[in-house]
Amino acid sequence: MPDRNRVSCRVVPFGVLVIFLMLTNASVRAAAPVVTSLAPLGLVPGQTTELVVGGQNLEGATQLWTRCGTSVVPPQAEAGAARFTVLVPEDVTVGLQAVRVLSPGGVSDLQLLLIDDLPSVAEANGNQTVTSAQLLTLPCAVDGRVDNLSRDFYQFEAQKGQRLSFEVLARRLGSPLDPALFLYRADGRELAYSDDAEGLSGDSQIEYRFDEAGTYLVEVRDIAYAGGPQHAYRLRMGDFPCVNVPLPMGVQRGQRTRVDFAGTSVDDANPAWADVPADWPYHWFPVSTRRPQGHSSGFALISVTDSEELLEHEPNNTAPQANPVALGTHINGRFALPGDVDRYRFSAQKGQRYVFTGITRNRAAPTDLVLELFDAAGNPIARVDDTKTSEGILDQTFPADGDYILAVSDLHHRGGPQYAYRIEVAPYQAGFDLSVAADHLNIPAAGVGSVTVNVNRRDYQGVIELSMEGLPEGWVVLPTKVGPGLAAGELTVQAPEGATTTAVLDGVRIVGSASVNGVDVRETAKVVDSLRARWNQVAVIPQSVEEVFAAAAEPAPAFALTIDPAEVVLGQHLKTTVKVIAQRSEAIDEPIELTAILDKVALPADVKLNLQPIPKGANEVALELTAGPKAPLGPFTVVLRGTHKKDNATQTATARPINYRLEAPLALAAAPADGMLRRGSELRVKVNIQRNPALSGEIKLTATKTPDGVSAAETVVAADQSSAELVLVATSEAATGEFSDLTIQATAVGNDQVTASTTVGKIVVE
């Protein structure tokens, strides 16, 4: 068993960062830090490095938060930058890591850098021509930046027979650079070229064995000659294997598993051993490899699950050779040769529903996976290629008991050492997945912050309750519900007043909870979509940051908004009113415009919120919430944002949520005192009325579907009453017998669209 402290040091996730700041002047708000550059882009384990962070609003930066490492408070920040001294523990595994900057204004976006066992070299000025190429001693890694219409050149010496790898990390670090990498002899003859290395989000990679000793050149540029301050890259040059993914791509928690690697040059890469403890809390594990007697590493992340994992064994190209596997076991393999087709045989029972999810390109394997399902006789049942932007997802309900064969291939019949794949196999479960629209949240002290949580539903259209778990004492997650069928919700959190302690917290996450078909379901929101939106064209988001979300306190706003009442009930054809109340500072004396965050999804069909500004000189406004005839029933949450503009200053504040529930506008229950009605007599029927809180006024009761000769006078129920008696009168000529369809109809006086009815039950007329 590995030392848990050391393992945790290697892979402690960001979790959620929460900062408590002393606020001395709420009217002057420090803006949240914005990070636009890191130099260097790599930190060496066991060494202390000065990391220069560039960007905006870095004045007074208090902390650099890294996944693993210590930092000292930076000296006085220079214009547009802050300097941190970072010590990375010696046993940290090579690979991509994440950092954020914390300041009195809040927390920054997540940024990526590399923990690298190659020494860092800064790009020198003036290396834009062959004759001025920067001289390097290998192995090393260069941190550079490409200017517009520019090319960077580097010069180095290689020995005869020496095998070297060259790779550019740009897109994988969130840079907009679309790199192209060239290797030349000193006389300008091109030896190798890479534009988009397969599986690496458009980054470049070359492995080359030199026939002659001598001087060689490397060129780095943008493929379209674009460039600028953000077009940063890290050029690695050494004897490392060029790795795409581990093989297998997944291991079982609590097992010790040998891990080989898939990539363009992994033939002699040393295997790694993944010793994953049984109580390992994460769904990923870092692995790295070197060549024998190598000095630099390739790296990857491996998936960790509780299920059994199968690594294919050849031959399995034909149905009789299919690898046997138990249904529910995850499958890992590789197409070693072009045209390779791998087959797996399993047994299933009629009615079982399983989902087969292909995983390749979003984990850096270039394979374009095709899944095909056959019965034991070889008859085709299903086939999938891509599902939206991901690999195929085969959702299959098995038609009969028996054996089945899953055939796996590459769409373009490609193969080679990098063409690995993974198929996760699990029983189908109705439910939902969550994704966060941002990777961080800055919450004003004593105020409210909000973040959008998107919902992907699977055969479940019910209510989802959102929360943020693990917040410290004093922080409050305000009630937030994603209403039936809605695709997003706005989660709100309130920071405590006067909080002053700075703290970094692990294990805080956004979760959604629901009861789905009687089963309690809890899902953790991922930030993958928000990172991919910010890092243009990045296909591979490291698993280690998929659930990384950060929150921090920022200075109190110049005004605050509250809601009265915080929760309301209404129904179809009804309306209600909520007040938005502003607490203004002296500088906030203009109208405050109100908008609904996520108005198109927080307000379902046929529900309208009549938004109006809080007028100048006023501290509140009443808003009318109206439900039409098609408004769905259930709980919902809508969040308002206020905007105040004066001169050139714009101030905003988020209100506590409006939680509203749509219920039936009116309901009736009738219970006759005696079910016997004699000719020439009367029968009193007690009617209980349940009013929607938004329904006021009188209710009119009438009887319909009465037997011949039976009638009831219209009864009006006062606005403050919830029950009444309806008197049934039978004439001497009334029809006799048993009657069960006599109905009482209720109609709201002044709103005849609000109705309800109930049957009285069996009545005997004699």
Task: Give counts: helices (H), strands (E), the chain.
Answer: 3, 69
Question: Tens of pLDDT along 131-170?
Answer: 999 999 999 999 999 999 999 999 999 999 999 999 999 9
What are 355-408's pLDDT values in tens digits? Answer: 999 999 999 999 999 999 999 999 999 999 988 778 899 999 999 999 999 999
Greatest alpha-carbon span in the chain: 122
Domain 4-115 has what CATH class? mainly beta
Query: Which of the four pLDDT bands, split at 50, 70 and 90, describes residue 673?
Result: low
Q: From its phi and psi, is residue 573 left (phi > 0), alpha (psi between -120 and 50) or beta? A: left
Percent of the chain beyond pLDDT 90? 81
Burial (Cβ within 10 Å: 0-12, 13-18, ≥19) of residue 569: middle
- Taking residues 248-266, report their average pLDDT: 96
Per-domain residue ranges of the chain:
4-115, 147-238, 245-305, 309-427, 439-552, 559-662, 666-765
CATH 2.60.120.380 is held by the domain 147-238: yes
- Round to whole Å and give the CA distance between 270 and 558: 59
Q: Rounded to an integer, what distance in angstroms lies between the CA atom of residue 36 and that of residue 42?
A: 16
In this predicted structure, the answer to whether residue 25 has a pLDDT above a threshold of 50 is: no
**Residue 556 confidence (pLDDT):** 86
Average pLDDT over residues 279-293: 95
Q: Where is pLDDT greater, at 103 or 511?
A: 511
CATH of 439-552, one of 2.130.10, 2.60.40, 2.170.150, 1.10.760: 2.60.40
Q: Check residues 598 and 137 and name the one with the higher pLDDT.
A: 137
Taking the mean position of all CA atoms in its chain, how far away is CA 36?
23
Better pLDDT: 541 or 671: 541
Residue 21 has pLDDT above 60, yes or no: no
Band (334; pLDDT cuts 50, 70, 90):
very high
Task: Specify whether domain 559-662 bears CATH 3.30.565.10.
Answer: no
Q: Give the residue-averaged pLDDT of 715-730.
A: 94
The single-letter DSSP state of residue 722 is: S
Question: Mean pLDDT throughout 688-704?
Answer: 95
pLDDT value at position 2?
39
Cβ atoms 467, 451 nearer than 8 A? no
**How far is Cα 129 from Cα 145, in angstroms, rounded to an integer?**
15
Chain-wide mean pLDDT for the chain?
91
Q: Is 114 helix (H, G, I), strand (E, B) or coil?
A: strand
Q: What is the 3-state secondary structure (H, E, C) of 352-398?
A: CEEEEEEECHHHCCCCCEEEEEEECCCCEEEEECEECCEECEEEEEC
Beta-carbon contacts of 518 under 8 Å, excluding residues fewer than 6 positions away, are none
Read off the pLDDT of each residue in 527-554 and give the average, rounded to a whole number.
Answer: 89
Among 283, 275, 323, which residue's Cα sits nearest to residue 528?
283
pLDDT surpasses 50 at 592: yes
Q: How many angstroms separate the CA atoms of 766 and 761, rounded?
A: 16
Q: Label residue 80 left, alpha or beta by phi (over 0 means left) and psi (-120 to 50 means alpha).
A: left
pLDDT in tens, 133-144: 999 999 999 999
- 476-477 vs 519-524, strand pairing mode: unpaired
To the question of domain 666-765 being in CATH 2.60.40.10, the answer is yes
37 or 675: which leads in pLDDT: 37
Residue 8 has pLDDT above 90, yes or no: no
Mean pLDDT of the 297-325 span:
97
- The per-residue pLDDT for 600 is 78
* Higher per-residue pLDDT: 499 or 754: 754
SS3 337: coil
Q: Are strands 341-348 and 402-410 parallel, antiparallel or unpaired?
A: antiparallel
Strand 323-324 with 509-516, pairing: unpaired
Which tokens go with 675? 């079910």
What is the reported pLDDT for 650? 94
The answer to whether residue 522 scores a pLDDT higher than 80 is yes
Given a contact cutoff of 8 angstroms between Cβ atoms, the answer to whether 237 and 138 are in contact is yes
pLDDT at 524 (0 to 100)? 95
The confidence score (pLDDT) of residue 504 equals: 46
Supply the CATH classification number for the domain 309-427: 2.60.120.380
Contact predicate 453/436, CB 8 Å: yes
Please give the average per-residue pLDDT across 182-186, as a whole number. Answer: 97
**323-324/341-348 β-pairing:** parallel
Say how many C-beta atoms besides its own lie within 10 A of residue 179's C-beta. 27
Q: Is the pTM of this model over 0.85?
A: yes
Percent of the chain topping pLDDT 70: 95
pLDDT at 499 over 60: no
What average pLDDT does the segment 89-116 reach? 91
Predicted confidence (pLDDT) at residue 591 exceeds the cutoff of 70:
yes
pLDDT class for 73, splitting at 50, 70, 90? confident
Look at residue 507 in the predicted model and tell me its pLDDT.
63
CB crowding 321-350: b at 16 or more within 10 Å, else e: ebbebebebbbbbbbeeeebbbbbbbebee
pLDDT given at position 502: 55
Q: What is the pLDDT of residue 29?
A: 62
For residue 450, name the pLDDT band (cuts at 50, 70, 90). Answer: very high
d(CA 587, CA 765): 76
Question: How would residue 506 be classed by pLDDT, with cut points 50, 70 and 90?
Answer: low
Q: Do domains 439-552 and 666-765 have the same CATH topology?
A: yes
DSSP, res 615 = P
pLDDT at 18 over 60: no
At 45 the pLDDT is: 93
